[in-house]
Amino acid sequence: MSGDRKDFTHREYKSYFEGLYPQLCVFAYKYLSDLDTSKDIVQDVFIKVWESKTVFENETHATGFFYKAVKNKCLNYLKSKTYRVTECYELAKLEAYDTEEFYMSEAVVIETTVVIENAINGLPEKAAQVIRLSIKDFTNNEIAEQLSISINTVKDHKKVAYHKLRKILGFLKMR
């Protein structure tokens, strides 16, 4: 994404929207617990940013801006009279949502999830299936049964997947 608004085409903005939209919806959902409202809020933010012709220094600046804008729009929605009348309004919960710690932890979890999902998508198909089932706490026996493969094949797929994921995701290790 370019810092010069003249270089920022509709196609580039659409591509950026498609890449960031799913994780922003998940982020909004953490605040609202309503997927439809979350989607509406994220779409509204993207529309307003496009219409206002907001200029960004770089992609990192833009991503941070969108997370903050979605957070603020969610908090405004939760504070709105409409929400308070129609939903169970918990002031203590809203105050917890309005902290920098909540915002940062949720943003980091979502961004990390996207990185991990992209890494799993880069695995061979069967290895990716095995890892996804393993993440869901399936045993090797259950995975073998589910995928109609032997337990040794499950173990082989895991070995290959873990090796590749360690290389791809090594930068996520806490130091």
Torsion angle of C-alpha atoms 52, 22, 122, 151, degrees rounded to 10: 170
Task: Check residue 100 and give its pLDDT.
Answer: 67
Higher per-residue confidence, 96 vs 154: 154
Q: What is the pLDDT of residues 161-170, one digit of tens each?
A: 888 888 877 7
Query: How would DSSP label each residue in 117-136?
Result: HHHHHTS-HHHHHHHHHHHT
Three-state DSSP class for residue 89: coil
Question: For position 83, what pLDDT does the model report?
Answer: 59
Query: Model confidence over 117-174: pLDDT tens digits?
Result: 888 888 889 999 998 888 888 899 999 998 999 999 999 999 988 888 888 777 666 4
Give the pLDDT confidence score for residue 173 in this predicted structure. Answer: 62
Domains of the chain: 1-117 (no CATH), 122-175 (1.10.10)
Q: pTM score, two decimals? A: 0.52
